[in-house]
Homo-oligomer: A and B are copies of this chain.
Amino acid sequence: MPAAQPPASPESTVPTSTDPASSAPEAAHPTPEAVGTARAKGRPRSAAADRAILAATREALAELGWGGLTMGHVASRAGVAKTTLYRRWPSKNELVVDAVATLFDDLVMPDLGSLRADIEAVVAQFADLLARPETQAALLALFAEGIRDRQLHRRIREAIVDPQKRLVRQGRTAAQARGELEPDTDAGSACEEVDIIFDTIAGTVEHRVLVSGEPITPEWTRRFTDLLLGPLTTC
């Protein structure tokens, strides 16, 4: 889902003196035009162009990596003008967020009948996702940019990180239904536990693949799951 710049936003241009590069993107960019209230009046934006741009972004990411990805390259590969990109996304960062976010939608919590099997399945899915070149090229670069750009950081969390916490919640709920986990005592503590589990799984797998550069084998997954299951299951 593109950023959907407000059609009539005279604001634009924030010179910010000594900051030509990243950071400090425009403050106002609301207009979730998806609501469909205001029917556009003039020529509609080409949905095909959106799709071509996002696909071209993913392809270029896989081929050239983050550093080699340029807006001009994406534009020509998608068959559109560079200005068309900037009409939809304020900068490379936001474009890549949208281009990559969809990759994470395929993750599902399978409910295989045991907490161990569920965890191992999710870890395997995540490992497969992290094995794809476009994911590798984009994920850490996006996280790195998000450190300095709060707007982008929020956007990454909303589009990529937070949606995946559902996996932990679903797995926990299923395990509680099976009696493998204690029921929640209070909501706050449960929420914190979800956060811990999520950071542990996501962080560890990412670190293993992207930083240590080692593959995720079934054997590794088994041992990592041992680690997770220790204090969770009733002993």
B interface footprint on A164-195 (CB within 8 Å = 1, 0 otherwise): 00000000000000000000000000001101
Known interface pairs A196-B224, A203-B207; 6 further A-B residue pairs with C-beta atoms within 8 A, sorted by A's residue number: A67-B148, A136-B147, A140-B140, A200-B200, A200-B207, A227-B227
Majority-rule SS of A interface residues: helix
A198: chain B residues at CB < 8 Å are: 212
* Contact partners of A211 in chain B: CB under 8 A: 143, 146, 156-157, 161, 199, 202-203
A44 in the interface (beta carbon within 8 A): no
* Residues of A near any B CB (own CB < 8 A): 19, 21-23, 65-68, 136-137, 140-141, 143-148, 153, 156-157, 161, 192-193, 195-196, 198-200, 202-208, 210-214, 220, 223-224, 226-232, 235
Query: Separation in Å of the A123 CB from the closest CB of chain B?
Result: 12
Assembly CA distance A148 to B141 (angstroms): 11
Do A23 and B204 form a contact, CB below 8 Å, given A144-B141, A147-B210?
A: no
Output the least CB separation between A185 and chain B (Å): 14
- Judging by beta carbons under 8 Å apart, are A207 and B206 in contact? yes
Within the assembled complex, what's the spacing in Å between the Cα atoms of A147 and B68?
12
By beta carbon, the residue of chain B nearest A153 is B213
